């Protein structure tokens, strides 16, 4: 498998979806099946390749970048096509490749208006190139390109297939009536673009100071203390903007509830499962190791914002009537735990962040699938009108109950580890950080877990339990069909597997994380 | 002393001059039904002009100097000549059906277009003020006429008149500044001015002369606050002419600005650096904010091109705070790279506008609603160009923004870094109005009044124009070396060779 290990494998994982998108584009529109088969085949091959990568990966040296290559790309600015994975990116890469397959399986017979499977599948495939590329990129310019590549497909997904209900938007003194999808799509784009424009400036400043865009080289320089003073602070601030918008961290999160709620089901799933992780991954891959000194300075800020995010997200959930919007706000809380783990700057905390990212991807992805499928049947997401779902659709109700438990962090299921370890990390942060402040954020996080349990159970009560409302009598409400079950089964299995056996993730990540912390923070 | 004339180095100019004659001769000889032959003559001529360009570029020593260094064919000149020829070529392709369909004078149209291109090509080699000025006037003169080519239209007449009056005003200001320069330094060549400026004392008159020259060029590149003519002229002129104005005419202005700033008075960068810092910030911000309010697609592109000029001005500003040759060279290269990328994406955008207006029969952005459903291919191309103008990866425009940011950051100086931050905010603002066009095409439903009749076919020549531009915009997005190569090649002349 020399060809695979020398970078071809990862390159295929990144660019096959692009080729698939081209093929789908060339396929005749009339023949819907061919279009779907090409897309599915492409993503399955990519997922298999990502699994092969996981097997080829040498776990003994998970801190090293493996299976990659380093080729000249834009010599005039010294940027290279440098790719590779370590223990931190591997789980996320596999997650991304797998969730995309499930998204296409689910789409098979769930097309939201205005249908057009061909265009929709092209967008999913383009999205996959961006997502996978971000996780393997080891060059700042390359990273930036992939990071931005996901914007356009998601913009179109929300804008074309999104929620068409009217929405009032206040602009100063004026009230404009527009559609939810139009508002949400442009808001999503502008927020992210604003953040990433400053992130790019930071990348450029780094490269002028260090003379390279190469991430491993920058990590070596950074852990040696190469970037200091105001320069370092400004660079970190720019990166913080770029990544924090994407995560999203409170108070930059306001695009998220809109985008998630407005997006078509598959769009929400990919947004929640993968796109949010690009931000937190950026913190772990780039911001922390390259700028350790500034990370120390910023850690309390990040921890406090994360704690606010956890509490705020949970409280916002308690105020929701719209099921999908509730799940969207729960992401703010869950990503708060991820960021809290990262802010502790310890190996426990960062491991927690990564396992939390994977778990959130699996669980919240699943929740959005359910929200979409239920909306498809009930044509409403208003929880006051739902109820008795367990009786109307037992299979779907059971899955909802199960995954809600996972989401609230029930031990034995995937959601537990990320929250638990990130609280441990916050209890005992890196030496030199303000312990009492971090313990405060830990308490806030702990309260957050209670609130999370509160809103999840309340949602279950409103949606699943009780007697069905009279309005559903005589409606045809089919339970989960086989495409849905096939798409969901892997997520459910993963939820249990990660919950029972978190070593699936930590075996890959731990070596890399310990090395990262040791190198950057010397402990 | 008899001058040695290097006919090889003058090849492109000579071929263009011959093409001019040929176009007007063909126009005189053929009957009305065969007037399209003038266009073909022009296409053949501009294509033929590439041949000496390529042989010059492949030559071991591409730098050839003539007329005591007043006229030089170096890498920068070759790159910009290639750009002007390509732009002319694409504009002729765009014009073919447009001019044919609306019963214009065809022979004169192509004659003037090629004449203007000749002026731009001459400018790139100009290394003294007189040749530069002659070139610039040869660029502008034909355009005064072309802007009014839709004779029956009041707007076109207004466009032409406004452009003419402000063009003459700017030429007067420019010439006034140049006369001061000559008076103070006793030289018209850039080399001579530079040496005189170093040895002699630089009084306030010299500063004033520099500012006059910059203002003169600021009109040409439609930098704020000298941009008022642009939107009206752009809207009134025939669309292919607008495309030419926004690309070649603007690029010619930048060629002039690059040459005088970096070659004639590089040592006065403390004067023009801050001046251009202010111009860049104003041009980006005002251009973008005004573009937000536009409802007409051509006016939108007009203000967008004003804002884009602001981005091209950003690298100039760093000369005010650094004199490291490497940084100046890359700033010079950044502007050239930006111009090259901008040329392709803007020509593409205008090609889409021409094609779309055959369907929508209106200039309003709202009339583009539902274009994605009615003409998906065209809407797809349109999205590519507009998103590229917005600088979204993986389309070529991202690299243009990238090199500009990169140049501004390279000094790690407070002033230029804050200019980069202003540029970054502007990139976000700009996205909003480019996205509005994309939103209209894909997200908005087609107007119910839209006739369900068969769509007009995109003319073959316009298809070629679209193919050339889209191929570049996509390829250069993935392989930015395709653009930075030109910047690299031309940067050598900056920072005093």
Give me the torsion for CA of A372, A373, A378, A380, rounded to 10°: 0
Quote ipTM for the complex: 0.89
Q: Are B277 and B317 in contact (CB under 8 A)?
A: yes
Distance from C-alpha of A341 to C-alpha of A517, rounded to nearest angstrom: 13
Residue of A nearest to B488 (CA): A76
User: Looking up tokens 């002028």, which residue turns up?
Assistant: A208
**What pLDDT is attached to residue B265?**
84
- Closest by CA position to A417, among listed A354, A367, A362: A354
Cβ distance A208 to B403 less than 8 Å, yes or no, reads: no
Q: What is the pLDDT of residues A76-128, one digit of tens each?
A: 888 899 999 998 999 999 999 999 999 999 888 878 778 888 889 999 999 99
Rounded to 5°, the CA angle B191-B197-B203 comes to 150
Q: Which residues of B touch A195 (CB under 8 A)?
A: none
Residue B71 exposed, middle or buried by CB count within 10 Å (0-12, 13-18, 19+): buried
Half-sphere exposure for B191 (CA within 13 Å, toward CB)? 10
CB B124 within 8 A of CB B12: no
When CB atoms are compared, the residue of A152, A197, A208 closest to B424 is A197
3-state secondary structure A166-225: EEEEEECCEEEEEEHHHHHHHHHHHHHHHHHHHHHHHHHHHHHHHCCCEHHHHHHHHHCC
Task: Determine contact, residues B340/B247, Cβ cutoff 8 Å.
Answer: no
**Residue A143: pLDDT band by 50, 70, 90 thresholds?**
very high
The predicted structure's pLDDT at residue B450: 57
Instruction: Determine the Cα–Cα distance for residues A431 and A429; give it in Å rounded to an integer.
Output: 6
The rounded distance, in Å, linking the Cα atoms of B83 and A258 is 44
In sequence order, which ranges of A319-346 are alpha helices (DSSP H)?
Answer: 323-343
Alpha-carbon distance of A292 to A223, in angstroms, equals: 7
In 3D, which of B167, B175, B180 has the Cα closest to residue B207?
B180
- Interface of chain B against chain A, CB under 8 Å? 333, 387, 392-394, 398-399, 402-403, 405-406, 409-410, 412, 417, 420-421, 424-425, 427-428, 431-432, 435, 439, 442-443, 479-481, 484-485, 487-488
Per CB-CB distance under 8 Å, the chain B contacts of A75 are 481
Looking at residue B495, its pLDDT comes to 46
CB contact under 8 A, B485 and A76: yes
Quote the CA–CA distance of A187 and B114 in Å, as a whole number.
45
Residue B307 has a pLDDT of 93
Burial letters B414-435, b for 16+ CB under 10 A, else e: ebbbebbbbbbebbbbbbbbbb
| Separation in Å, CA of A517 to nearest CA in chain B | 29
Q: Where are the alpha helices (H) located in A319-393, listed in sequence order? A: 323-343, 347-378, 389-392
Tell me which DSSP letter residue A57 carries: S
Residues of B in contact with A189 (CB under 8 A): 431, 435
Strands A174-179 and A166-171 turn out to be antiparallel
Query: In this predicted structure, what is the pLDDT of residue A523?
Result: 54
* SS3 label, residue B428: helix
Q: Do A74 and B443 touch (CB under 8 A)?
A: no
Q: Cβ distance A139 to A79 under 8 Å?
A: yes
State the best of A137, A149, A201 to mutate against chain B, taking most chain B CBs within 10 Å.
A201
Query: Which helix or strand (DSSP H or E) is residue A66 part of?
Result: strand A66-74
- What's the mean pLDDT in A196-214? 89
Rounded CA gap, A74 and A81, in Å?
Answer: 8
Q: A-side interface with B, Cβ within 8 Å?
A: 73-77, 141, 144-145, 148-149, 151-152, 155-156, 159-160, 181-182, 185-186, 189-190, 193-194, 197-198, 200-201, 204-205, 208-209, 231, 234
For the CA atoms of B420, B424, B425, B431, the dihedral, rounded to the nearest 10 degrees, stands at: 150
**pLDDT at residue number A202:** 92
Hey, are the CB atoms on A160 and B443 less than 8 Å from each other? yes
Close Cβ partners of A433 (under 8 Å, ≥ 6 residues apart): A296, A299, A300, A344, A345
Residue B481: which H helix or E strand, with range?
helix B481-491
Query: DSSP secondary structure string, B49-76?
Result: HHHHHHHHHHSS---EEEGGGTEEE-HH
Say what percent of chain A tops pLDDT 70.
Answer: 100
C-beta neighbour count of A212 within 10 angstroms: 17
Alpha helices in B186-268 (DSSP H): 190-199, 204-220, 229-236, 239-244, 250-259
**Which residue ranges in chain B fall short of pLDDT 70?**
1-3, 62, 101-103, 200-201, 448-454, 491-497
A400-411: per-residue pLDDT in tens? 999 999 998 888
Q: Which pLDDT band, with edges at 50, 70 and 90, does A209 fall under?
A: confident
* CB spacing of A76 vs B432 below 8 angstroms: no
B433 Cβ partners below 8 Å, 6+ apart? Answer: B288, B291, B292, B294, B300, B304
Question: How confident is the model at residue B243, as a pLDDT?
Answer: 93
Q: What is the pLDDT of residue B454?
A: 64
Residue that wins the pLDDT comparison between A29 and A247: A247
CB contact (8 A) between residue A200 and residue B424 = yes
What pLDDT, on a 0 to 100 scale, did the predictor assign at position A133?
93
> Mean pLDDT score of chain A, rounded to an integer?
88
Instruction: Read off the pLDDT of each residue in A283-301 and give the average, rounded to a whole number.
Output: 91
| pLDDT tens, position by position, A144-200 | 999 999 999 999 999 888 888 888 777 777 777 888 888 889 889 999 999 999 999
Contact A194 B406 (CB under 8 A): no
CA B50 to chain centre: 19
Q: How far is B329 from chain A (nearest CA, A)?
A: 12
CA distance A392 to chain B (A): 35
b/e per residue B448-476 (b: at least 16 CB within 10 A): eebeeeeeeebbebbebbbebbbebbeeb
Integer Cα distance of A219 and A239 in angstroms: 15
Count Cβ atoms below 10 Å from residue B253 Cβ, excluding itself: 26
Q: Which tokens belong to A27?
A: 């396929």
Task: Identify the pLDDT of residue B201.
Answer: 66
- Rama region for B68: left / alpha / beta (φ>0; ψ in -120 to 50; rest): left
DSSP helix/strand/coil, A382: strand
Residue among A145, A149, A189 whose CB faces B431 most closely: A189
Contacts B333 to A, Cβ<8 Å: 76
Residue B160 in contact with residue B236, Cβ under 8 Å?
Answer: yes
Interchain pair A148, B425: CB under 8 A: no
Segment A447-503, tens digit of pLDDT: 999 999 999 999 888 888 878 877 777 777 788 788 888 889 999 999 999 999 988
Quote the DSSP letter at residue B458: P
Residue A348 has pLDDT above 50, yes or no: yes
Contacts of residue A47, Cβ cutoff 8 Å, sequence gap at least 6: A94, A97, A98, A100, A101
Q: Hey, how many other C-beta atoms are within 10 angstroms of the C-beta on B168?
A: 13
Indicate which of B424, B436, B444 best probes the interface with A, i.e. most A CBs within 10 Å of its own CB.
Answer: B424
Cross-strand partners of A168: A177
Write down the pLDDT at residue B1.
47
Residues A292, A92, A262, CA angle at the centre, nearest 5°? 105
Alpha-carbon torsion angle B80, B81, B85, B86, nearest 10: -40
Beta strands at B64-66 and B71-73: parallel, antiparallel or unpaired: antiparallel
How many other β-carbons are positioned within 10 Å of the β-carbon of residue A341?
33
Token pair for residue A448? Answer: 């957050």
Q: How far is B424 from chain A (nearest CA, A)?
A: 5
**DSSP string for B367-404:** GGTTHHHH-HHHHHHHHHHHHHHHT-TTSTHHHHHHHH
Query: Residue B493, SS3?
Result: coil
Q: Specify whether the CB–CB gap between A14 and A136 falls below 8 A.
A: yes
């Amino acid at each position: 498998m020399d060809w695979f290990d020398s970078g071809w494998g990862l390159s295929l994982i990144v660019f096959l979806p692009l080729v698939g998108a081209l093929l789908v584009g060339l396929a005749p529109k009339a023949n819907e099946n061919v279009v779907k088969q090409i897309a599915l085949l492409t993503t399955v091959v990519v997922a298999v390749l990502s699994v092969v990568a996981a097997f080829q990966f040498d776990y003994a040296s998970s801190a090293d970048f493996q299976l990659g290559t380093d080729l000249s790309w834009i010599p005039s600015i010294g940027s290279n096509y440098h790719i590779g994975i370590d223990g931190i990116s591997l789980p996320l890469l596999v997650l991304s490749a797998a969730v995309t397959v499930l998204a296409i399986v689910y789409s098979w017979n769930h097309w939201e208006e205005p249908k057009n499977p061909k265009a929709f599948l092209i967008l999913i495939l383009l999205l996959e190139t961006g997502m996978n590329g971000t996780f393997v990129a080891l060059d700042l310019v390359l990273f930036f390109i992939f990071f931005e590549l996901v914007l356009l497909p998601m913009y179109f997904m929300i804008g074309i297939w999104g929620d068409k209900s009217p929405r009032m938007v206040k602009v100063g003194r004026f009230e404009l009536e527009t559609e939810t999808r139009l508002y949400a799509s442009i808001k999503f784009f502008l927020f992210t673009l604003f953040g990433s424009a400053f992130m790019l400036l930071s990348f450029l400043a780094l490269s002028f100071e260090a003379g390279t865009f190469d991430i491993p080289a920058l990590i070596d320089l950074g852990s040696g203390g190469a970037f200091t003073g105001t320069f370092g602070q400004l660079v970190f601030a720019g990166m913080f903007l770029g990544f924090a918008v994407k995560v999203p961290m409170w108070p930059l999160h306001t695009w998220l509830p809109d985008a998630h709620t407005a997006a078509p089901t598959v769009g929400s799933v990919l947004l929640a499962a993968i796109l949010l992780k690009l931000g937190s991954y950026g913190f772990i891959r780039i911001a922390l190791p390259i700028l350790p000194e500034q990370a120390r300075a910023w850690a309390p800020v990040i921890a406090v914002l994360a704690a606010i995010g956890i509490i705020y997200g949970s409280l916002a959930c308690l105020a929701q009537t719209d099921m999908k919007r509730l799940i969207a706000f729960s992401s703010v809380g869950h990503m708060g735990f991820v960021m809290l783990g990262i802010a502790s700057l310890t190996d426990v905390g960062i491991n927690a962040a990564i396992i939390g990212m994977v778990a959130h991807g699996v669980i919240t992805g699943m929740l959005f699938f359910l929200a979409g499928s239920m909306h498809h049947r009930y044509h409403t997401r208003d929880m006051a009108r739902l109820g008795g779902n367990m009786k109307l659709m037992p299979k779907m109700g059971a899955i909802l109950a199960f995954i809600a438990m996972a989401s609230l962090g029930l031990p034995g299921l995937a959601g537990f580890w990320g929250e638990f370890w990130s609280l441990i990390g916050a209890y005992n942060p890196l030496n030199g950080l303000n312990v009492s402040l971090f313990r405060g954020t830990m308490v806030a996080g702990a309260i957050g877990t209670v609130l999370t349990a509160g809103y999840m159970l309340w949602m279950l009560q409103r949606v699943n339990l009780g007697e069905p409302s009279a309005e559903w009598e005589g409606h045809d409400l089919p339970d989960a069909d086989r495409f849905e079950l096939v798409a969901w089964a892997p997520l459910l299995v993963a939820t249990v597997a990660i919950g029972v056996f978190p070593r699936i993730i930590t075996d890959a990540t731990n070596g890399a994380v310990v090395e990262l912390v040791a190198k950057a923070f010397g402990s | 002393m008899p001058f040695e004339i290097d006919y090889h180095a003058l090849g492109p100019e000579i071929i263009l001059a011959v093409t001019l004659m040929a176009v007007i001769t063909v126009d005189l000889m053929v009957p009305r039904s065969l007037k399209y032959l003038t266009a073909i003559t022009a296409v053949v001529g501009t294509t033929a002009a590439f041949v000496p360009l390529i042989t010059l570029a492949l030559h071991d020593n591409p730098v050839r100097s003539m007329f005591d260094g007043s006229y030089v064919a170096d890498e920068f000149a070759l790159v910009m000549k290639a750009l002007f020829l390509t732009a002319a070529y694409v504009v002729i392709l765009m014009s073919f059906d447009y001019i044919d369909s609306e019963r214009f004078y065809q022979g004169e149209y192509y004659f003037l277009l090629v004449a203007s291109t000749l002026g731009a090509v001459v400018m790139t080699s100009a290394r003294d003020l007189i040749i530069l000025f002659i070139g610039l006037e040869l660029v502008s003169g034909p355009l005064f006429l072309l802007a009014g080519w839709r004779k029956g239209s009041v707007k076109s007449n207004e466009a032409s008149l406004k452009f003419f009056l402000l063009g003459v005003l700017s030429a007067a200001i420019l010439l006034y500044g140049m006369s001061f320069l000559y008076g103070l330094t006793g030289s018209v060549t850039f080399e001579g001015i530079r040496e005189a400026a170093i040895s002699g004392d630089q009084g306030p008159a010299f500063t004033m002369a520099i500012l006059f020259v910059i203002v003169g060029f600021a009109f040409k590149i439609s930098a704020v606050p000298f941009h008022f003519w642009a939107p009206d002229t752009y809207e009134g002129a025939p669309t292919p002419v607008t495309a030419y104005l926004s690309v070649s005419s603007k690029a010619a202005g930048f060629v002039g600005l690059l040459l005088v700033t970096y070659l004639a008075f590089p040592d006065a960068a403390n004067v023009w650096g801050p001046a251009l810092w202010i111009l860049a910030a104003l041009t980006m911000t005002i251009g973008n904010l005004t573009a937000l309010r536009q409802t007409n697609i051509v006016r939108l592109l007009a203000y967008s091109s004003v804002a884009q000029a602001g981005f091209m001005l950003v690298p100039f500003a760093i000369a005010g705070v650094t004199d490291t040759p490497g940084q100046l060279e890359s700033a010079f290269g950044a502007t050239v790279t930006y111009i090259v990328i901008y040329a392709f994406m803007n020509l593409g955008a205008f090609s889409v506008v021409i094609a779309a207006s055959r369907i929508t029969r209106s200039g309003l952005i709202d009339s583009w609603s539902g274009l994605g459903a009615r003409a998906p291919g065209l809407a797809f191309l349109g999205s590519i160009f507009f998103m590229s103008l917005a600088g979204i990866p993986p389309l070529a425009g991202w690299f243009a923004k990238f090199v500009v940011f990169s140049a501004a950051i390279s000094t790690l100086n407070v002033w230029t870094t804050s200019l980069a931050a202003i540029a970054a905010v502007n990139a976000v603002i700009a996205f909003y109005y480019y996205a509005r066009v994309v939103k209209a095409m894909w997200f908005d439903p087609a107007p119910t009044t839209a006739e369900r009749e068969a769509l007009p076919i995109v003319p073959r020549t316009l298809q070629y124009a679209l193919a050339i531009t889209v191929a570049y915009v996509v390829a250069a997005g993935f392989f930015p070396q395709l653009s930075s190569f030109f910047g690299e090649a031309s940067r050598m002349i900056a920072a005093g060779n």
